[in-house]
Chain A
Amino acid sequence: MTRVLIPTGALGLGYDRAALSRGIANRPDIIAVDGGSTDSGPSYLGRGVSKYSRTSTKAEWRGLMQARAEAGVPLVIGTAGTCGADSAVDWLLEITREIAAETGQTLRVATLKSGQSAAAVKAALAEGRIAPLFPAPDISEALIDACSNIVALAGAEQIAGALATGADIVIAGRTTDTAIIAALPLVSGDHPGACWHGAKIGECGAIATTQPATGVIQIDFDATGFTMEPMALTAAATPYTVSAHMLYENSDPFVLHEPGGHLDVTGARYTALDARRVRVEGSEWIKGDYTVKLEGARVAGYQTVALALLRDRRYVRHAREWAADVQARVAAQIVERMGLAPEDFTLELRLIGMDATLGPLENRTTTPVEVGVLGIVTCPTEAQAAEAGKMLNPYLLHHALTENEPMPTFAFPFSPAEMQRGALYEFCLNHVMRLDDPMSAFRLDVHEVGHG
């Protein structure tokens, strides 16, 4: 039996301290926590940075490092720093060194890096080792070169390799959400279908319970299945909360692809052991090719945004035609004065209060009290985006619906009115890369930390 303690769905989301203490008292074999996902968008991978504050990350990581020291078992984090790029691993390693120094801990820390050089990915492409998933952007050498970061999602094998160094802490770059939880039970010989299924159920912490915000859960893996128990006494796992979690952020609720195979939960049986614990058996692991998924982000332009507020009733009523007129005039000016071709830039005015969320798919209409006009200009360079954003300014402030009326002025919440967003990144890979040796695309290093 292997007991895995999962403190939260992601480092940075917080966890219930009493529940964590209860989990430690239950003597887990490992503490596993996820550090990220693609869900917050491509900018984090593009820049190789975390979305959470360093202060919050350090505070929560300190709590987990203390819990680890108390339990005397390994602590593993996957997809460190939101995106799992090499720079994000280094960032968390630096935080770990600081905490070790501040708390007087001496530790062996293993880092597992998932970053892929353009040369390595181009070589794999040339060797026919890269295949598209559906839907995938077209891949080319130029596209690979354009990525500011490419990562491969490590699986259980690479995490097991990192644990085999005898590390107290494993800081892994991009991994699948499940790999950090499944790795030790798989090494221990627990049921492979249960290892992956339990890992999927546990990857978001207490989301698969009646009280998602409590964070901490414990999963026991064994030869025939797994048992899940939330560590907050007020939270319960039920057959419904556990089985429904296969739906979460998963396009197929019965299948989950991982490096080296896939999980099929079609035959899974969920049984309530009592009011708070659920037993799951019957899930299957089907072996396949050893492939790792690739993620890449590249710069797709530079953006400046501006926000103006229409509160005047007549302008609110005519907001759409007003915005269309502003858009047309400013776009023409960008072409005329900056010499950009119409296809080189985009200028959009999204009407908050009308259809900013759904755009052309919005099918409700009503007259709002006010309308937020979010101007978004995207240009090939940062300087062009800054210039174009400023051209929007006089129109957002004063543009009149008709020529024969006094000049209106609209509400600007900020000065300067424009906000430069810097680079706009986009995800540009949805591919898998076949590996003959699972470790060949990953780099494992061991650091002795806190030894003065």
Chain B
Amino acid sequence: MAELGTLVEKVRSKNAGPFWLTVDIFCGSPEAFARVTTGLETARVAHLFGVEPQAMKRFDIPDLNVVKLSVPRPVVQGTRADRDMHGAGWAVLVEEMEIA
């Protein structure tokens, strides 16, 4: 097991418009990409984000060694319950995940 953030170059999360959140995992090499694509369970990310697993869209993009996860924002951007206007803080939940 290892923390995902130690295996990849960068994890970034951002709004994709006010109603969506998108997380990009830049793996940096085919080896890291292979490890992340096999070790990363979408359902676990959904659990960490507090959303239903079927709400998550996942794109494994070998040309870029990137795994992308998109989900309707659990809290719409800027509403009173929103804590993170640009959605940047969600990345740490993925970065700090332990994966096989």
Q: Which residues of A contact B (CB under 8 A)?
A: 38-43, 133-137, 240, 243-244, 247-254, 295, 300-301, 303, 346, 350, 356-361, 363-364, 376, 378, 424-427, 430
Contact assessment for A427 and B18 in the assembled complex, using a CB-CB cutoff below 8 Å: yes
How long is the Cα–Cα vector from A253 to B70 in the complex, in angstroms?
A: 10
Contact assessment for A358 and B18 in the assembled complex, using a CB-CB cutoff below 8 Å: no
Number of cross-chain contacts by CB at 8 Å? 100
Interface residues of B in 5-34 (CB under 8 A from A): 14-20, 22, 24, 26
**If the complex has contacts A240-B64, A251-B70, are A135 and B19 also in contact, measured as CB distance less than 8 A?**
yes
Closest CB-CB distance, B95 to chain A, in whole Å?
Answer: 12
Question: Can you give 13 contacting A-B residue pairs, CB < 8 Å?
Answer: A38-B17, A40-B85, A247-B24, A247-B64, A247-B66, A247-B68, A251-B22, A251-B70, A252-B70, A253-B66, A358-B83, A358-B89, A363-B48
Contacts of B26 in A (CB 8 A): 244
Contacts of A357 in B (CB 8 A): 83-84, 89, 92
Place the interface of chain B in its size category. 35 or more
Contact assessment for B19 and A41 in the assembled complex, using a CB-CB cutoff below 8 Å: no
**If the complex has contacts A244-B66, A361-B50, A363-B93, are A356 and B83 also in contact, measured as CB distance less than 8 A?**
yes
Contact assessment for B80 and A427 in the assembled complex, using a CB-CB cutoff below 8 Å: no
Contact assessment for B15 and A249 in the assembled complex, using a CB-CB cutoff below 8 Å: yes
Contact assessment for B78 and A249 in the assembled complex, using a CB-CB cutoff below 8 Å: no
Contacts of A137 in B (CB 8 A): 76
A42 (CB) vs chain B CBs: closest residue: B78
Nearest first, the 7 A-B pairs at minimum CB distance are A251-B70, A41-B78, A251-B16, A357-B89, A42-B78, A427-B18, A251-B20
Contact assessment for A41 and B14 in the assembled complex, using a CB-CB cutoff below 8 Å: no
Closest CB-CB distance, B79 to chain A, in whole Å?
Answer: 5
Closest CB-CB distance, B32 to chain A, in whole Å?
Answer: 14
How long is the Cα–Cα vector from A244 to B28 in the complex, in angstroms?
A: 12
Closest CB-CB distance, A447 to chain B, in whole Å?
Answer: 32
Contact assessment for B83 and A301 in the assembled complex, using a CB-CB cutoff below 8 Å: no
Contact assessment for B80 and A346 in the assembled complex, using a CB-CB cutoff below 8 Å: yes
**Extra inter-chain contacts (18) besides given A39-B14, A39-B85, A42-B77, CB under 8 Å:** A41-B85, A43-B78, A134-B72, A247-B64, A249-B22, A250-B16, A250-B22, A251-B16, A252-B57, A252-B70, A300-B80, A358-B84, A358-B93, A361-B93, A376-B80, A378-B80, A425-B78, A427-B77
How long is the Cα–Cα vector from A270 to B17 in the complex, in angstroms?
A: 27
Closest CB-CB distance, A290 to chain B, in whole Å?
Answer: 20
**If the complex has contacts A247-B24, A253-B59, are A361 and B78 also in contact, measured as CB distance less than 8 A?**
no
